[in-house]
Every structure is written in structure tokens, then in C-alpha cells.
Structure 1
Amino acid sequence: MFIGAIADDLTGATDLCLMLARGGMRVVQVIGVPDAAFDFAAADALVVALKSRTIPRAEAVDLSLAAARRLIDAGARQLFFKYCSTFDSTDDGNIGPVAEALLGLAGAALTIACPAFPANGRTVYRGHLFVGDQLLSDSSMKDHPLTPMRDANLVRVLQKQTALPVGLVGYGTVEKGAEAIRAAFDKAAGEGLRMLVVDAVTDDQLRTIGKAAAGLKLVTGGSGVAIGLPANFGFEEGKANALPFPAPAGRAAIIAGSCSAATRRQIAAARGAGVPALKIDPQDIADGRMTAEAAARWAVESGHATPLVYSSNDPAEVARAQSALGRKRAGELVEHLLAGVAVRLRAAGFRRFVVAGGETSGAVVNALGPAALAIGPEIDPGVPWTVSLGSEPPLALALKSGNFGTDDFFLKAWELLQ
């Protein structure tokens, strides 16, 4: 194994798998820390999908370290810590604490932090993260129900999360090429810096950063920076599998828990195209007016090719539910119900699922129970189809980060299945 990666949520893991596969690697994604019996032999890169983005900091660190130890024991030459391209976190973590712990485990002097993903409009300039033309703090991420991002200065955000000194490798250095970036790494290490935010606004810059990172024991970032890593191990960049995906036969459904602006637009587009949709309200769950059984029965009886069950809502309604129920409980009620819907739909013959939202995807996959996922064709940048491994029956799963995908994502995803 060349690269061993730990992702802090499921959709981020599939996104990273896709990027490494584009680079020519054989990639396997596992759900949770793999046990001692797991066979790593077929993988050039292995990505461990955790659900650690919003759990307590100590738990996130412990899980991430456990995964990293398994990867190191399996022979991984470089560790990669994957988090969201919008740097989703709070002042307590979990990006900084996990990166700090992994840096210590690897015995490394320095790592980088580069969440840039230009294909999805995430760029870093002068240490500030942009979403499209907006600073992160001006984007819809400022209203995220779990990790509201109200500061675009990543050096400042990361420094709040770690005691290790944080610095910046700016755009001017990145433009000069890999040797200049490596020299900046060496200079920063000599000055006692341990984590470096790295600017990037194009894919070519990410490839250059990847080349410069060849000697690092640990790389952290979004999936974008992984575009340049496979070449360091002799792999050639090419397209991921573009053949029609032989998905398991069976009915299909869309399950959406993300409240991001992108997912809300995708829901509106699907409803506008005639897709029947059932909206889930956390208060209805708490009061017993909505159950997983009822929602699944509605989907089965809808008769539509791709019924949609969703809890996505605008920021004001999310705030109302959180005020009434508490932030944690509101989220857990919805995740538990949507996971229960997926389990019941599988029992009713559904075999194809599009799931929107990192937390929702984690809950659904944990409930369905596959041990690993094989990566299929790309629907939109960062979102592939996958097929479950180690589960009966096999399932086709498209696990979408809430912020990813074009407005017609829920409508076009099925075109890649045969």
C-alpha cells in the first residue's frame, strides 16, 4: 500500500477514492477502522471512512489514530487526513486535534493543510478559503447547522484548534513550482512551524503541491490536493472507470438530510421535474407523528422510479428545530429516521440509493452495514457511484456531500447505471 487515508466522513472518503483512482491507483474504501482480518493486498491506496467530523474531539482523535495504526501496520508509505473542502470544524476541532495526533504518530516535523478543490469552486488565496467568488464566511456555510464557518482565514481557524504553530505557504511561492514549495516547507520547519496552510486556485497548482509533498509522512486536506500524490509513487493520471456501472437490479430512492444550499436546490429541481417528495420534520419525529416505517411505506407506495425522502430545510427552520429540540437531538432524530428508512426500503427490494449529506450518508451506510465500497463512475466532481462490498444484497450507493453537485444531480445520477 502506498497511501493510507483517514476521512472524517463517508462522502469525503468516496470523493478521495475517486481522486486517487483518477491518478491510476487501485483504491478500496472501508467503512470504519478495518479489523485485523481485513485483506489490504489489492489496494494501492486504502481510504478509511470514519464518522468523526462532529463527534467529541477525544473520540475523533482516538478513532483516527486507530485507523492510522492499521494503515501503517499494513505498509502505508504516506498518511492522508481528508476533511471537507469547506474546512468544516469548530474552534475546538476536529481538524486541528486529529492532524496534531497523526503528526505525532507519524513522527513527522511538518504537515500541510490544503482544502482547495477548484472543480467545486473551493480555492485558497492568501490563506483565505473561497467558495466560488465568496469568502467562506460570506457563503451559505456560515449557517451550517453543525459547523458554521464564520472565518475564512484558515491560518487563524486552524491555530485555534491546535497548540502547534501554524503558518502559510502563499500563492507567490506556489506559482514558482515544487522546488520553491519544498524550500518553503524546509524554511518553515527550521522556524518551528508544524502545520502549513497552502494556497491553491487551480488543479495544476494542486498537482505541484502534491509533487512537493512527496517527502511528507502526513498530508492533510480536501480531496483536491490528492490529485498530485499518485504520481509520486509512479502512477499515471488518467480517468476513473467511465464504463456503464453494472448496478444491482432493484428499485431506487433518494434520501437527503443535508441542509446545504446546493442540496436544497437539488431537491427543488427534482420536485419541479415531478419527483414525489416526502418532507421530514424533526418535531414530527419527536412527537411520534412521523416514523421510519411510515416514511418507507410512503416511498414503496409512491410507485415512482426515484421517490425522495428529505429533511433538508432553510437556515431559519433548522434554527427553529434546534431551538426546540437542541442541536444534537434534532440532528440525531433525523439521522436515525433516515437510516431506518433506508433499511426498510432495502427489505422492500430497493437496491439503488442516492444519499445527500455527510452525516446522513454515514448514518445510512452504518445502518445498511457494508464492510467496504468499490468506486464507480463519477456523477459530478467529487461524487461517484459506489457498490457495496461485504453486504447481501449488494447495493449501488451515491453518497453526496451536501455542498456538491449540480442542481439536476438527483435527476441525472441514474443515467450512469445500467
Structure 2
Amino acid sequence: MILGVIADDFTGATDVASMLVRAGMRTVQVIGVPQNEAAPEADAVVVALKSRTTPAAQAVSESLAALRWLRAAGARQFYFKYCSTFDSTPAGNIGPVAEALMDALGSDFAIACPAFPENGRTVFRGHLFVGDQLLSDSGMRTHPLTPMTDADLVRVLQAQSRGRVGLVRHDTVAQGADAVRARFDGLRADGVRLAVADAIDNDGLRVLARACADLPLITAGSGVALGLPAVYAERGWLTPDARAAALPPVGGLSAVVSGSCSSATHAQVAHWLASGQPGFKVDVHALAEGRPVAVQALAFAQQHLSDGPVLVYATSAADEVRAVQAALGVEHAGAMVEECLAQVAASLVDAGVRRLVVAGGETSGAVVQALGVRSLRIGATIDPGVPWTQAEGRPLLLALKSGNFGSVDFFAKALAQVA
């Protein structure tokens, strides 16, 4: 193993894994910290946690457990992966986890860079943009779990961190890796431990990857991972594998399960339904009343599966989500939806579904756990940040999509790729 990655949610894990695979690194994603299990044969292993929205102390504990396992497995460098929209709260979890990992590794400095230009996430002068909008003006402002109302990442990260937070500006990144490393040295001399790094394109990400080659820890979205395989190959650590993304063909039925309420997923659900494809909407109020919504969803799916793929979704507009949360409570409403969709997904697989698209990080985590999947082999990219994966040892393909990712026709595009 060359690289050990700790990801704070399930879709984020497949996101960073897809960046590594497309550059020729054989990559496996494991679900949670393995217990008494040997590391898989791979160049990179991604440990997928559900720590993005847990209490900070729990996120730190789980991340340190993942680090211990990856270190014991022989990883040479480590990567803490979070969302390209820097999803967090004033209490964490990005700052506390990053500092805990640095302490455990004896590291005095690391970058923080959520940039993913291929999906419109760029960082300039320390401010995060989503497309042409500042993060604070984007749909993330009303995210039901981690609303992001400040685009100044230095300020956001400083509020979560014990140590000082600095900035590596675009004009430094544009001068190349040597200039960036010199900036690292200057920041260290000023007592800075974490530095937000600008990146507005893939060239900038590659510069940052090269500049960070000797750091024990990188903290970033998936973008910086794009440049790491080339650095490892130059060092003789890696022989890129042109077939790293190859997965065996899998027959069977197809379905989509969507729990994300992001604007991107909302548009994808609307596009699916507008194209005449069948869909069943989960009624959260009916769930709260104890009605058998999962049974009803499965019955609907079984009526249509023989004719083609089916969508089961809880995706709703922001105002509807807020109303549900106000009536039922944020955590209770989310837990009910996750449990229902996970039950539906497991029943769909029992009914012969072998190609399953899941939209939403929390939903993906619940589904994977309900299916008893312990590790995933990473395959080809569908859209930037979203690959197909195969459950190890099973004829089951899964596409775990972050809520904010994918084109409007993503569901149909993904299923067509493995038809």
C-alpha cells in the first residue's frame, strides 16, 4: 500500500478513489475500520467512515482508529478526505480531525484544499466557489445538516482549529511546487499548522500534490489526489495500471435509490420522472405514523422492474425538507428516511437488482451497511467524482453518488454505462 485515505463519508470515499483509479492506482474502499482483517491487495486503500456529521470527539476517535489500521498496513502517506464544499459546522469536524491526525503522525504542517474544479469547486484567495457563486451564496447555504454560510475557508477552519490557520495563495501556486514549498516553510516559521491552499484548475492541484509529496498528511477534497499517482510513479513506488478501473460485467436488474435533498439530486430526480421513468416517493410523514412505506415502495418497484429500472426517492425541495424537520426533528427525520431507503435497497437486491445507484452520502452509508458490504473495488468514472464500484466477492455493482455531483441525466447515464 502506498496511500492510506480516511474519508468522512461513503460517497466522498468513492469520489477520491475514482481520482486515484483514473490515474492508474489500483484502489479498494473498505467500509468502516476493518477488524482483524488483512489489508486488501491495492496501491491505495480508502477507509470510508460516517464521521462528517457525528460529534467532533467521535469523528476524531474513528479517524484515529482508521489511521492506526492504515499505518499497520504499511501506507507511506495519508490523506484525510472531506467534501469539496467543506461541509462542517463551527464545532468541526474538519479542523479537529485534521489536527488529531497531525498529532498522531508527528506532523507540524498540512494543507486544507477542498477544490475540485471538474465539478465547479474552486478556491481563490481562500474563498470557496461553487460554480460562479461563493459557497455562502450556493445551495449549500440551506443544507439540512451542514449549512455553509461563510465562503472564507481560513475563517471557517480557524473557528474549528486550535492551531493557527494560514493561506497559500493562487499567485504562489502558479509559480510551481518549489514556490509552494517555500511558502510552507514561511508559514511554519509563523506558527501556522494548517494552511488553506488555492486551486482554480487541475494544474494547480498537480502543483499542490507535488509540493505535498513529503508531508505525512494531506487534507483535501478529492482534487489533490489527481496529482499524487504521477508523483509516486516518479519515485518508483507505483507502476500505473491501465486496467485499474476494470470491473467484471454483472447482469441482473437495475434500480436507483435517492435520499439526497441537494439541488443537483433534486434536478436529477425531476429529470428521471419527466422522462417517463417510474418513481416512488417516500412519504416521511407516513413513515412517522408507522405506515409500511418500505413495503409499499418495494411492491411498486416489483411491478415495474421487469420493464426497466425503477427509482425510489425521498428527495424533496428545500422548503419541504425544512417543514418535515420542523415537525419531526432533524435527526429523527433523517434517521427514518435512511432506515427506510436502506431497507428498500436490501429488498431490491434480494429481488434481483444487481446494478444499484444510490444518491446521497448518508443514504449511501445506510444502504451499504444494510447490504453487508465490507469493501468495494473501484471502477470507471461515470461523472467527475462518481465511479461504479463492485462489492468484493459479490455480483453487485454500486454507484454511490454525492448529493451535489452528477449531470442532470446522471441516473440514466450511470445505468447505461453498465447495461
TM-score normalised by L of structure 2:
0.96
> For 1:20 and 1:217, how far apart are their aligned partners in 2?
18
Long gaps (5+) in structure 2: none
Aligned residues: CA RMSD: 1.4
Q: Which residue of 1 aligns with 2:375?
A: 372
**Equivalent position SS for 1:369:** coil
2:27–2:244 CA contact under 8 A, matched in 1: no
1:230-379 equivalence runs, <5 A: 230-234=229-233, 235=238, 245-303=247-305, 304-379=307-382
- Count of equivalent residues: 414
**In the alignment, residue 31 of structure 1 is paired with which amino acid?**
I
Report the equivalent of 1:74. 73
Per-residue CA deviations over 1:326-367 (Å, capped at 9, x if unaligned) read 000010000000000011111111111000001100010011
Q: CA deviation at 1:380?
A: 0.5
Shift of 1:173: 0.6
Alpha-carbon separation, structure 1, partners of 2:37 and 2:326? 45
Task: Name the structure 2 match of 1:62.
Answer: 61
Shift of 1:71: 0.4
Q: Would you say the 8 A contact 1:175–1:205 is kept in 2?
A: yes
What is the rounded CA distance, in whole Å, between the counterparts of 2:167 and 2:240 in structure 1? 28
Native 8 Å contact 1:247 1:395 kept in 2? no
Q: Deviations over 1:7-42 (max 9, x none)?
A: 0011111111111112221111111101222233x2
* Superposed displacement of residue 240, structure 1: 6.8
**Distance (Å, rounded) in 1 between the aligned partners of 2:9 and 2:416:** 26
Say if 1:246 and 1:417, in contact at 8 Å, map to a contact too. no
Q: Which string of whole-angstrom CA distances, capped at 9 and with x for unpartnered residues, describes residues 107-147 of structure 1?
A: 10001100000000000000000000000000001011100
Q: CA deviation at 1:233?
A: 1.7
Matched, 1:403 2:404: yes
Distance, in Å, in 2 between the alignment partners of 1:161 and 1:394 is 42
Q: Distance in 2 between matches of 1:290 and 1:168?
A: 52
Distance 2:205 2:10 in 1: 23
Q: Distance in 2 between matches of 1:116 and 1:39?
A: 29
| In structure 2, C-alpha distance between the alignment counterparts of 1:296 and 1:155, rounded to whole Å | 46
Q: For structure 1, which segment, 230-239 or 59-68, has the greater mean C-alpha deviation from structure 2 after superposition?
A: 230-239
Distance 1:121 1:21 in 2: 21
Report matched runs for 1:178-193 at 5 Å. Answer: 178-193=177-192
What's the counterpart of residue 88 of structure 2?
89
Q: Secondary structure at the match of 2:136?
A: helix
Number of the residue aligned with 1:48: 47
1:202–1:239: structure 2 CA closer, same or farther, 3 Å change rule? farther
- Cα displacement (A) at 1:241: 5.2
The worse-fitting range, judged by mean Cα deviation, of 99-108 and 227-236 is 227-236
| Distance in 2 between residues matched to 1:39 and 1:47, nearest whole Å | 11
Which amino acid in 2 is paired with 1:83? Y
SS at match of 1:137: helix
After the TM superposition, which residues 165-204 of structure 1 pair with which residues of structure 2 at under 5 Å, given as runs?
Answer: 165-204=164-203
Kept in 2, the 8 Å contact 1:23–1:236? The answer is: no
AA in 2 matched with 1:149: M
Provide the rounded CA distance (Å) in 1 between the counterparts of 2:239 and 2:195: 27
- The residue aligned with 1:107 is 106
Tell me how far apart the structure 1 counterparts of residues 323 and 399 of structure 2 sit (CA, whole Å): 30
Give the counterpart letter for 1:389 in structure 2. Answer: E
Q: Secondary structure at the residue paired with 2:101?
A: helix
Q: Counterparts of 1:227 and 1:379 in 2: how far apart (Å)?
A: 16
For 1:139, the equivalent position in structure 2 comes to 138
Q: How far apart are 1:388 and its partner, in Å?
A: 0.2
Aligned-partner Cα distance in 1 for 2:10–2:321: 23
- Alpha-carbon distance in structure 2 between the residues aligned to 1:145 and 1:20: 30
CA contact (8 A) 2:283 2:293 kept: no
8 Å CA contact 1:374–1:388 kept in 2: the answer is: yes
- Aligned residues of 1:57 and 1:92 also touching (Cα < 8 A): yes
User: Post-superposition shift, 1:383?
Assistant: 0.6
Which residue of structure 1 aligns with residue 417 of structure 2? 416
The whole-number CA distance in structure 2 between the counterparts of 1:57 and 1:339 is: 25
CA shift, 1:238, in A, is: 8.1
Q: Which amino acid aligns with 2:395?
A: P
> What percentage of residue pairs aligned between the two structures are identical?
57
Q: Describe the superposition over 1:296-346 as per-residue Cα deviations: whole angstroms up to 9, x where unpaired.
A: 121112244111010111111000000000000010000000000011111
| Cα separation, partners in 2 of 1:355 and 1:229, compared to 1, 3 Å | same
Moved more, 15-24 or 230-239: 230-239
| TM-score, length basis structure 1 | 0.96
Distance 1:387 1:171 in 2: 38
Distance 1:240 1:284 in 2: 47
